[in-house]
Every structure is written in structure tokens, then in C-alpha cells.
């Protein structure tokens, strides 16, 4: 069990602190964390940099933004009332509806009175004198709390490309995560350039192709994608779905990545070529991640199996792009299908059949700089009215880099992670007592709300345990952190995804500190993650020093 010092069980409550719990971030993690803390009668406060709640769905308002989880698997399961009252209108909810869902929860549980917006956290320092955290915002105001819960998100810090002249452009330029309110009006009929062909770019391109005067797509790395096949949900179907929620959540709990899709236990080579092709056609016709997450189990580990399915998808791509030269440029050659997180689309490839859409392959014609008028490549000067940067995020750890986090004796979190990420359960870090991370590195991700609910419940249960026992200090042991980090690395072995540069392997070529692959996420199956965390809890939090 955790190491408890009995003589300290009678320590006084947090009467001299501003809050029992300070929560950074008002996305889904922060919203549910606040609900759980309130249920335990704790004084909690959410601090949020934006002007409203919603997190990812507050910031990412670019056209086409939507999640790739089925809506009814994305919804929180903790409240039967929420499940009864909320109706989804599409199988894969668009950003405006998902933001409304977050707002609906906040209003239903009257959470805004404990939320503070337009407040960016700049520093959080542990106070050894009274086992508390002192958090400072951008205005210099401080907040003291016993517990600090980071709900800052995994895709929260947008990055611009590492290209000279980004700020020299005299037209309108913006990152997709900072899409302006008049964004569609601003690009209507205009000459538009977009840098990037990742998930955000794919969703954006398939929408803005309808209104731009011309569109030039600058592609550094081609990405695999597949049809989303989204459809509307009628009121009658929503009633049926509501009755299926228990089965939906049970399937998500069984799934390796918290989606409703279960991996096929067969090998690619258990079927002959004709049977295999027919099976893949069936998966391809299904909506969502079926073609990725319901595929044969060895697609993610066997190079030949992955090559065969990648070629199957390549044929589908060639069928949809009129120009065979453009089609080949859009087909990835440096990684296989599913070795990066697969974006889903609805009309992306057809964009390149429009006469006003051009693809620039940056492996052949690299960008030299952004100019006042547009973008200069090795072979051509492009003039634009608008430049859109769909260039990703400082993923997973970027939110932590943006805050000066110091633990016991002033230890800096970035120094601890400087030679590689180390955590305990992906939930806390040695030298940083009383600090917990929701969707931090080394946690299970996948279908995010399913993962959020589990992580928040685990952290909340521990804080409730500490309250009951009169504990005011919890710190990961070195042994616990070493064992967990070793386990995380073992789970990553043999996966083709960890041989590819992507945000999932800690790489962002736009950032000097993210040029080398790292293990930043939990690669094992979600049921295995929960099993290990539950075992720690059952042993009264073995792996933590608590007092």
C-alpha cells in the first residue's frame, strides 16, 4: 500500500488556502473534474485562458472541425440525466454542436460560478512549508490550493511552421486553432494558401474548397485518410441510441482504444487474397474508424500486412483523384496506413479535381520563405490574400512547457522530462506532490471522453481518500515512476506507429525540442491501463508516498 505516516493523519483542513483544488483548463477534463470535486464538498476553482468553456471545441472553430468518434460514444456516461436530455443530430458531431454540449453540461450543473475565464496560468510552484501549490496567472494574481489538477489538453499549443518570414505576410494569416469569427467570409472568392495536410487541414480543405477563389495546398508529408461517412441522426434513431448506451459504453470499455470498434482477432494472412479484399471492402464501406480499428490485429505490427492494406487504400485514393500525378503525390510513401492517427474525410480528394485547387509537393518544391505578398518556393512565387497555417500543435507536453511548473526544492518539470518523459500511471510525477494530470503523457488517449472519465474518477477517488484520511501530501515514488515508465516503453515495442514521425511519437518538425521520437502516450490496450491503475488503488495507492 502507499506509505502513510499515522502521526500526520490529524492535520487540519485546507482552511488557510484559497481552494482545496485548483483546476487548470475548462475543457471536458476540467468540467468533469469540477463536477467530481463539488460532489465531494471540496472548494474547487477552474482557471481557463479562453473566454468560455469547451477546451478543444472552444478554440478549434475552423470549418469542417468535428470529432471522429461516434457521437454516442463521445458523450459522458456519469449522468443518466445528461444521457436522457442531450440529443445528437449527427453520427459524428461538428464543432458547434460539441461546444454546445460542453456548454449544456456547464449550465446544467451551474458550474460557471466556479470558473474563471480569460486567465492564463503562467506559473505553479509547490510550497513545501504547507504542502500546497501556489499558482500565478498572467496578471500576477496568485491562487493557493492543496491539490493542482492539470486539464490543459493534449492539443492545446498551436505551432507555426519553422519558415522565415511567417510574420511578414501583409494579407490575413492565421492558424486553424485561431480561426477568426469571419473566417469563411474572409476567404470567400479569395486567393488562399494552406500549409499542411494533416487532420486539421483535411477537414478544412474539404469545406473551404466550396467558397475560395483559388486554393493552393502546400504538402510536406502526405497523409492516409479514409471516408468518414457521416449521416444525420433522426429523433427516432436518437431514441434507439439512448436505449443502447449501456451496450455502447460496455463496448468502449472492452476496446483497446476506448472506441466502439473492436479489433479483428484474425491475422491478415488467415484469409486468401479474395476473401481479404472482400473483408476490406466491407470495412471501407462502414462509417468512422472501422477500417482502422476493426481491421486484422496484425495491421499495426506486421509490415507486409500493413503494406497490403495500405495498397488497398491507395487504390481507393487513385479512383477518386482525376490526375494520376496528383494522386500519387497524395499517397504516403514513407509510412503505412494507421501508423499515424488516421484523419477521416468527406470530399477531401475531390478538392484536387477542381481547376482552382493546386497541390504543391514540398519534397520537390520546398518553401523558402513567407513574403509580404505570399509564399516563395524554390520554383515559384505565390501571391495570396489569405494564408492558413494547419501546422499542428506542441502535442501532449506543450501545455506543460507553457507553464513554469516547479516542484519540491524548485525542481523544474522540464528538467525532469528533459531526457525523456517519466510519470507514474501518466497521472503524476515524482518531485511534484499533489499535482495530477488529466490526459497527460503516458495516459491512455483514444476516444478522449472515455479516457477523461476514467482519469478524473481515479484522481477524484484519490483526493476523496486523502480527505477521508486527513492526508495533505501525495508524491510518486522513484520506484513507482520507473516501473510505470518501463511498462509504457514495453507496450510500445513492435508497433509500426513508433517507427514513424508524428505527434503521437513526440515529433513536430516545426519545434527544435521535438525533432526526436519519444514515447509520450500509453500504447497498451485501455483495459490493461485501467487494470494497473485499479490495482494501485486497491493497494491504497501503492507507488505514492502519502502523508
pLDDT at 4: 39
Which residues touch 452 (CB under 8 Å, ≥6 apart)?
28, 29, 32, 438, 439
Tell me which CATH homologous superfamily contains domain 3-53+111-157+395-546: FAD/NAD(P)-binding domain (3.50.50.60)
- The yes-or-no verdict on residue 68 having pLDDT over 60 is yes
Largest CA distance in the chain: 77
pLDDT-derived band of residue 14, with 50, 70 and 90 as boundaries?
Answer: low
Q: Is it the case that residue 5 has pLDDT exceeding 80?
A: no
Question: Does the pLDDT of residue 1 top 90, yes or no?
Answer: no
**pLDDT, tens only, 469-509:** 999 999 999 999 999 999 999 999 999 999 999 999 999 99
pLDDT in tens, 511-537: 999 999 999 999 999 999 999 999 999
What is the three-class DSSP state of 212?
strand
What is the b/e burial string over 18-44, where b = at least 16 CB atoms within 10 angstroms of the residue's CB? Answer: bbbbbbbbbbbbbbbbbbbbbeeebbb
pLDDT at 330 over 50: yes
pLDDT tens column, 385-399: 999 999 999 999 999
**C-alpha triplet 362, 368, 371: angle, nearest 5°:** 120
With CA atoms as reference, report the closest residue to 397 among 519, 497, 510, 486: 519
What does the alpha-carbon distance between residue 387 and residue 365 come to, in Å, rounded to a whole number? 18
pLDDT number for residue 3 = 44
Residue 6 confidence (pLDDT) = 32
Q: What is the pLDDT of residue 9?
A: 32
Q: Of 494, 525, 519, which Cα lies nearest the Cα of 305?
A: 494
* Residue 10 reports pLDDT greater than 50: no
pLDDT at 12 over 60: no
**Owner of C-alpha cell 499517397:** 331
User: Could you report the per-residue pLDDT of 108-162, keeping only the tens digit for each?
Assistant: 999 999 999 999 999 999 999 999 999 999 999 999 999 999 999 999 999 999 9
pLDDT digits (tens, 9 = 90+) for 251-266: 999 999 999 999 999 9
Alpha helices in 40-109 (DSSP H): 56-59, 71-74, 80-85, 95-108
477: left (phi over 0), alpha (psi -120 to 50) or beta: beta
Alpha-carbon span 413 to 342, nearest angstrom: 31
Closest C-alpha among 83, 527, 169 to residue 381: 169
Which residues, listed in sequence order, are joined to residue 116 by a DSSP beta bridge?
47
Q: For the segment 278-301, what is each residue's pLDDT rounded down to a tens digit?
A: 999 999 999 999 999 999 999 999
Q: What are phi and psi of 371, to 5 degrees?
A: -110, 180
Average pLDDT estimate for 45-51: 99
Amino acid at each position: 500500500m502507499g506509505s502513510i505516516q499515522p502521526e500526520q493523519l490529524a492535520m487540519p483542513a485546507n482552511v488557510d488556502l484559497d481552494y482545496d483544488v485548483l483546476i487548470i483548463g475548462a475543457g471536458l477534463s476540467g468540467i468533469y473534474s469540477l463536477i467530481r470535486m463539488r460532489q465531494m464538498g471540496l472548494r474547487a476553482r477552474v482557471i481557463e485562458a479562453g473566454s468560455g468553456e469547451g477546451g478543444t471545441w472552444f478554440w478549434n472553430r475552423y470549418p469542417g472541425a468535428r470529432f471522429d468518434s461516434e457521437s454516442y460514444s463521445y458523450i459522458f456516461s456519469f449522468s443518466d440525466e445528461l444521457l436522457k436530455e442531450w440529443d445528437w443530430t449527427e453520427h459524428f458531431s461538428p464543432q458547434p454542436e460539441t461546444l454546445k454540449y460542453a456548454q449544456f453540461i456547464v449550465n446544467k450543473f451551474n458550474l460557471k460560478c466556479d470558473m474563471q475565464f480569460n486567465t492564463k496560468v503562467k506559473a505553479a510552484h509547490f510550497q513545501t512549508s504547507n504542502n500546497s501549490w501556489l499558482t500565478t496567472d498572467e496578471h500576477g494574481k496568485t491562487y493557493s490550493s492543496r491539490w493542482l489538477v492539470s486539464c490543459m489538453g493534449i492539443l492545446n499549443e498551436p505551432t507555426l511552421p519553422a519558415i522565415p518570414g511567417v510574420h511578414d505576410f501583409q494579407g490575413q494569416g492565421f492558424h486553424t486553432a485561431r480561426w477568426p469569427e469571419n473566417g469563411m467570409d474572409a476567404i470567400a472568392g479569395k486567393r488562399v494558401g494552406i500549409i499542411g495536410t494533416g487532420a486539421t487541414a483535411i477537414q478544412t480543405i474539404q469545406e473551404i474548397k466550396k467558397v475560395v477563389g483559388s486554393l493552393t495546398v502546400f504538402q510536406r508529408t502526405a497523409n492516409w485518410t479514409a471516408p468518414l461517412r457521416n449521416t444525420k441522426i433522426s429523433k427516432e434513431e436518437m431514441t434507439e441510441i439512448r436505449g443502447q448506451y449501456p451496450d455502447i459504453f460496455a463496448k468502449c470499455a472492452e476496446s483497446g482504444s476506448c472506441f466502439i470498434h473492436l479489433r479483428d482477432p484474425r491475422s491478415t494472412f488467415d484469409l486468401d487474397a479474395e476473401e481479404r479484399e472482400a473483408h476490406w471492402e466491407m470495412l471501407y464501406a462502414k462509417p468512422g474508424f472501422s477500417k482502422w480499428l476493426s481491421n486484422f490485429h496484425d495491421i499495426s505490427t506486421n509490415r507486409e500486412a500493413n503494406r497490403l492494406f495500405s495498397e488497398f487504400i491507395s487504390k481507393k485514393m487513385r479512383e477518386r483523384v482525376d490526375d494520376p500525378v496528383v494522386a500519387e503525390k497524395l499517397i504516403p510513401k514513407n509510412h503505412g496506413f494507421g501508423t499515424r492517427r488516421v484523419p477521416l474525410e468527406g470530399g477531401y480528394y475531390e478538392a484536387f479535381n477542381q481547376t482552382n485547387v493546386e497541390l504543391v509537393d514540398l519534397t520537390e518544391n520546398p518553401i523558402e520563405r513567407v513574403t509580404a505578398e505570399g509564399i516563395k518556393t524554390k520554383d515559384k512565387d505565390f501571391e495570396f490574400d489569405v494564408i492558413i497555417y494547419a501546422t499542428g500543435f506542441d502535442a501532449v507536453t506543450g501545455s506543460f512547457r507553457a507553464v513554469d511548473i516547479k516542484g519540491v526544492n524548485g525542481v523544474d518539470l522540464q528538467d525532469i522530462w528533459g531526457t525523456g518523459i517519466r510519470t507514474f500511471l501518466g497521472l503524476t510525477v515524482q518531485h511534484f506532490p499533489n499535482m495530477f494530470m488529466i490526459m497527460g503523457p503516458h495516459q491512455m488517449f483514444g476516444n478522449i471522453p472515455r479516457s477523461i472519465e476514467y482519469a478524473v474518477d481515479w484522481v477524484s477517488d484519490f483526493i476523496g481518500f486523502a480527505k477521508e484520511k486527513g492526508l495533505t501530501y501525495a508524491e510518486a515514488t522513484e520506484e513507482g515512476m520507473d516501473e510505470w515508465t518501463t511498462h509504457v516503453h514495453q507496450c510500445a515495442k513492435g508497433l509500426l506507429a513508433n517507427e514513424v514521425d508524428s505527434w503521437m511519437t513526440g515529433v513536430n518538425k516545426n519545434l527544435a525540442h521535438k525533432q526526436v521520437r519519444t514515447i509520450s502516450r500509453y500504447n497498451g490496450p485501455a483495459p490493461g491501463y485501467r487494470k494497473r491503475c485499479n490495482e494501485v488503488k486497491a493497494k491504497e495507492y501503492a507507488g505514492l508516498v502519502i502523508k
